[in-house]
Chain A
Amino acid sequence: MDRMKGKYALISGGNSGIGAASARLFAREGAAGIALLDLDKGDGKFDAVAEELRAMGCQAIAIPCNVTSSAQVRAAVEQVVQAFGRIDVSVHSAGVLDYNSSVLRTSDELWDRTVAINQTGVFYCCREVLKQMEKQGEGSIVNISSVAGISGNSGAAYSSSKHAVVSLSKNIAMQYVGAGIRCNTICPGPTTTGMTELKPEEMGEDGLPNDPRFDTEFTHICSRHVDQSIGFLAAEDQAKAILFFASEDSSAVTGQWLLVDKGFY
Chain B
Amino acid sequence: MIDLSGKTALITGCSSGIGSETARVFVKQGAAVVIVARRREKLEELADELRGAGGEVLVVAGDVTAPDFPDEVVAQAVQTFGRVDILVNNAGIGDRSMATVRTTDELWDQVVAVNETAQFRFCRAVLKVMTQQGSGSIVNLSSIGGVYSIAGAAYSAAKAAVIGLTKNIGVQYAGTGIRCNAVCPGPTDTPMLAPGQEMDMEMLEIAGRHSDMTCGMSEPVDMANAIAFFASDEARYINGQILVIDKGSCI
Which A residues are within 8 Å of any B CB, using their own CB? 70, 102-104, 106, 108, 111-112, 115, 119-120, 123, 126-127, 130-131, 134, 148-149, 151-157, 159-168, 170-172, 174-175, 177, 218, 221-222, 225, 255
Shortest distance between the CB of B144 and any CB in chain A (Å): 11
Q: Can you name the residue of chain A whose Cβ is closest to the Cβ of B160?
A: A167
- Whether A171 contacts B171 by the Cβ 8 Å rule is no
* Contact partners of A225 in chain B: CB under 8 A: 171
Given A104-B124, A119-B161, verify A159-B100 contact (CB < 8 Å): no
Over the window 151-165 of chain B, the binary record of Cβ atoms lying under 8 Å from chain A Cβ atoms (1 yes, 0 no) is 111101111111111
Interface: B91 (CB within 8 A): no
Given A123-B103, A170-B156, A171-B153, is A149 in contact with B164 using a C-beta cutoff of 8 Å?
yes
- CB contacts (< 8 Å) of A160 on chain B: these are 116, 120, 161-162, 164-165, 168
Tell whether, in the assembled complex, residue B100 and residue A221 are in contact, meaning their CB atoms are under 8 Å apart.
Answer: no
A35 to B124, CA, bound (A): 40
Which residues of B, 190-214, contact A by the 8 Å Cβ criterion? Answer: 203, 206-207, 210
Q: A127-B103, A155-B168 are in contact. Are A174 and B128 (CB under 8 A)?
A: no
Q: Using Cβ atoms and an 8 Å threshold, which residues of chain B touch A111?
A: 117, 120
Assuming A103-B124, A152-B171, is B160 touching A166 (CB within 8 A)?
yes
Pair A103/B172 contact, Cβ less than 8 Å = yes
- The minimal Cβ–Cβ distance linking A174 to chain B, given in whole angstroms, is 6
How many whole Å from B240's CB to the nearest CB in chain A?
A: 6
In whole Å, how far is A188's beta carbon from the nearest beta carbon of chain B? Answer: 16
Complex contacts, A102 vs chain B, CB 8 Å: 168, 172
Task: Check: B149 CB closer than 8 A to any chain A CB.
Answer: yes
Interface positions, chain B 86-114, Cβ under 8 Å from A, are: 99-101, 103, 105, 108-109, 112
Q: A106-B120, A106-B124, A152-B240 are in contact. Are A168 and B103 (CB under 8 A)?
A: no
Given the contacts A111-B120, A123-B103, A127-B100, A174 and B160 also touching, CB distance less than 8 Å: no
B120 close to A171 (CB less than 8 A):
no
Q: In whole angstroms, what is the CA distance A159 to B152 when docked?
A: 21
Interface pairs (30), CB distance under 8 Å: A70-B105, A102-B172, A104-B124, A119-B112, A120-B108, A120-B112, A123-B153, A126-B100, A127-B153, A152-B164, A152-B240, A154-B168, A156-B120, A156-B169, A159-B164, A162-B164, A163-B160, A163-B161, A164-B158, A164-B161, A167-B149, A167-B157, A167-B161, A168-B156, A171-B99, A172-B100, A174-B149, A174-B207, A175-B100, A177-B206
Residues of B within 8 A of A222 (CB): 171
Min CB gap B189→A, angstroms: 24
**A168 touching B164 in the complex, CB below 8 Å, given contacts A104-B124, A156-B120, A222-B171:** no
Of B162, B164, B166, B167, the most chain A CB neighbours within 10 A belong to: B164
What A residues does B172 contact at CB under 8 A? Answer: 102-103, 218, 221
A148 to B100, CA, bound (A): 23
B131 and A175: CB pair below 8 A? no
Check B210–A174 contact: CB distance below 8 A. yes
In whole angstroms, what is the CA distance A218 to B127 when docked? 15
Task: Assess whether B170 is interfacial by the CB under 8 Å rule.
Answer: yes
Q: A131-B101, A174-B206, A218-B172 are in contact. Are A163 and B153 (CB under 8 A)?
A: no
Known: A108-B67, A171-B100, A222-B171. A115 touches B117 (CB 8 A): yes
| CA distance in complex: A68, B136 (Å) | 36
Closest chain B residue to A166, Cβ basis: B160
Q: A157 CA to B124 CA in the complex, in Å? A: 12
| Minimum Cβ distance to chain B for residue A147 (Å) | 11
Chain A residues within 8 Å of B103, by CB? 123, 127
For the complex, give the distance between the alpha carbons of A255 and B147 in Å.
12
Q: Which of A151, A164, A177, A218 contacts B167 (CB 8 A)?
A: A151
Q: In the complex the two chains form, what is the Cα distance from A176 to B101 in whole Å?
A: 11
Residue with the greatest number of chain A CB neighbours at <10 A, chosen from B117, B128, B168, B174: B168
Given contacts A160-B165, A171-B149, A221-B171, could you give 12 more A-B pairs where the C-beta distance is less than 8 Å?
A: A103-B165, A104-B131, A111-B120, A119-B161, A120-B112, A123-B154, A148-B164, A151-B167, A170-B149, A171-B99, A221-B174, A222-B171
Known: A156-B169, A162-B164. A103 touches B120 (CB 8 A): yes
Q: What 9 A-B pairs have minimum CB-CB distances, sorted nearest first?
A: A152-B167, A163-B164, A167-B160, A170-B149, A152-B168, A164-B157, A159-B164, A160-B161, A171-B149
Whole-angstrom CA separation of A167 from B159 in the bound complex: 8
Q: Which residues of B lie under 8 Å from residue A156 when comparing CB positions? A: 120, 165, 168-169
Residue from A103, A155, A157, A255 having most chain B Cβ neighbours under 10 A: A103
